[in-house]
Amino acid sequence: MADSEFAIIRQQPSSASVPLILVHDGGGTIFPYFAIHDIGRDIYGIALSGRGEPWEDGIADIADKYTALVKAQSLPASAVILGGWSLGGIIALEMARLLYEDPELEVKGVVMMESIYPPLVSAQQQGAIDPTDVTLGNGISLAARSRILKSLNKGHEAVKAHRIQPGSELTATVLITADDPWPSLRGGKFEMPAKLGWDDDGLGVVKHVYSTSGHHYSIFDEENAASITANLSEACAMLENGVWG
C-alpha cells in the first residue's frame, strides 16, 4: 500500500461549517482540487505520496487506511463531508460506509464528482479519449509522469474489481456530472448514462444529481472552475443541513 498524505487545499479560518475532505484521483494527485474556489468551508485532500505500491490491496483496503488517516487529524469539527473526483468519489463512498455510526467522526454526506458506477468502468474507457493526454501537463518530470501513469492503470483495474457494498446507501450521497460527453479517440463524442450507471446499483446510493460545466477531464479547467465551485458549495450545504439525508 502506498503512503498517503493529508493536505490543506483551502482554509476558511472563521468558518464553522463542516469541512470537506477530497480523495485523490486515479493518478494519486489532488492538483485538480486547487482549482476550486471558496465554498465557505475548509477543504482538505488525501494524496498518494509516491512511496509504496498503490492499489495492491484494492479499494476497500485503501478506504480503511484513509479512514484511519482522517481520524488521526486534528480537525476543527467532529463531522466531515467526504468526496472526490472519478475514482476518488468511489473511495470516499466506501470510507463513508466504514464510518457509518462511528462514535468519533460523523460523515454528513458524500459528493462524488464524475464517479462512474464501477461495473461500467470498462465500457467508459473503450473508445474514450486517453486520460493521460488530458491529465498530464508539460511540466511533469519523467519520474512523476511514470508514477502517475502507473497509478492510473492500477486504479483503473482496482475500480473495475470493486463492488459497491450494502450499507453504502445509508450515508447521503450526491453526484455531480459533467454537462458535456466524453471526447472520443475516434472523433465525435462518447455518451454515458445520465447518472453514470448509478441507477443500476440496486441500493439507491445517489440521492441527488447536479450538473456542471465541461466534460469528465475539464470540469476543473479555469473556464469551468466557477461552475464546479458553485455545485460543490450547494451540495455540501445541503448535505450538512440534512436535506438529502
pLDDT at site 77: 84
Q: What is the pLDDT of residues 117-154, one digit of tens each?
A: 988 876 555 445 455 444 545 555 555 555 555 555 56
Alpha carbon 28 to its chain centroid, in Å, reads 11
Distance from C-alpha of 99 to C-alpha of 67, rounded to nearest angstrom: 7
Q: 110-120 in b/e burial notation, b at 16+ Cβ within 10 A?
A: bbbbbbbbbeb
By CB neighbour count within 10 A (0-12 exposed, 13-18 middle, 19+ buried), where does 244 fall?
middle
List, in order of start, the domains of the chain with CATH numbers.
Answer: 4-240 (3.40.50.1820)
Distance from C-alpha of 5 to C-alpha of 46, rounded to nearest angstrom: 6
By CB neighbour count within 10 A (0-12 exposed, 13-18 middle, 19+ buried), where does 74 fall?
exposed
pLDDT at site 131: 52
pLDDT < 50 regions, the chain: 1, 52, 126-127, 129, 132-134, 136
Distance from C-alpha of 20 to C-alpha of 29, rounded to nearest angstrom: 17
pLDDT at site 185: 57
pLDDT at site 154: 61
Q: What is the pLDDT of residues 93-105, one digit of tens each?
A: 999 999 999 999 9
pLDDT at site 193: 82
End-to-end CA distance of the chain: give it in Å, rounded: 33
pLDDT at site 122: 63
0.75 exceeded by pTM = yes
In eight-state DSSP terms, residue 58 is H
